[in-house]
Amino acid sequence: MSHVVATGAGKVMMDRRTDPTHDYILGLTGKERPRVLFVGTATGDDPAYILSFYTTYHSDRCAPHHLPLFHRAVDDLAGFVRGFDVIHVGGGNTANMLDVWRRQGLDDIMRELWEDESSNVVFTGGSAGGICWFEGGTTDSFGPTLLVLPDGLGFLPGSFSPHYDAEDQRQPIYHAALKSGELGPGYAVGNLQSVHFHGGKFVTAISPVEDALALTVKAVDGEIVETPLPVTVLAGS
């Protein structure tokens, strides 16, 4: 069964070269040198973000590759993607990313991997790369005012709100969407925290720092209930 590790921040976490979160993700594969695929669609395959990925997920740590979709060079997309142990999705514009994936058929390829019980792929990423695995979340895809995106891949039920400690709009917009039913109950994390699921079941929240923000959030009788999650503070933090 595959894993999902959804993180609060994308590029911020990627730029933390020695953050133990990266080792945690690679360790889930059970392989000495896992094959890692970076998908940077959410920033239009930004070269600087791709370079940051290769600097963090360097060849001494894993076998890194990236998949450009704006200047696609792969004919057999399904065959290419299925060869990886980790699919790492960068942050950026969640809505545009999902539209490109659906146009290219990448969403169906990843869904087949997720639904294959013999698969042990780790689906991961921060911000857009965290929201996409859920049914929906809060996003800045449409401009500086945050909106609700009830349009994720739905590998995991409910919703995800990243950047919960870093952006003032996140909490009120998420709360309003939960109260209205536009989003289902879900998870909220700070920039440096992640939530780990295995086979669709919550395992733990992880953090490289002691002061961790990781919550379940739901609306009950019109009121918001936030419940702290158990957090594993990673060794080497």
Active site residue 119: no
Query: What are the residues whose beta carbons fall under 8 Å from the beta carbon of 159, sequence distance 6 or more?
Result: 134, 135, 136, 137, 138, 174, 177, 178, 183, 184, 185, 186, 187
Active site residue 127: yes
Cα 91-3-74 angle, rounded to 5 deg: 60
Half-sphere exposure of 207 (CA within 13 A, CB side): 18
Beta strands 201-207 and 194-198: pairing type? antiparallel
58, 64 in Cβ contact below 8 A? yes
| Order of all β-strands in the sheet with 156-161 | 147-149, 134-139, 156-161, 186-189, 214-220, 223-228
Structure-token match 């086979």, residue found? 199
CA–CA dist 79, 230 (Å, integer): 38
User: Catalytic: which of 3, 163, 175, 196?
Assistant: 163
What are 184's two structure tokens?
């289902």
User: Catalytic: which of 2, 127, 161, 194?
Assistant: 127
Query: What are the residues whose beta carbons fall under 8 Å from the beta carbon of 43, sequence distance 6 or more?
Result: 49, 90, 91, 92, 93
64, 56 in Cβ contact below 8 A? no
List residues with catalytic annotation: 127, 163
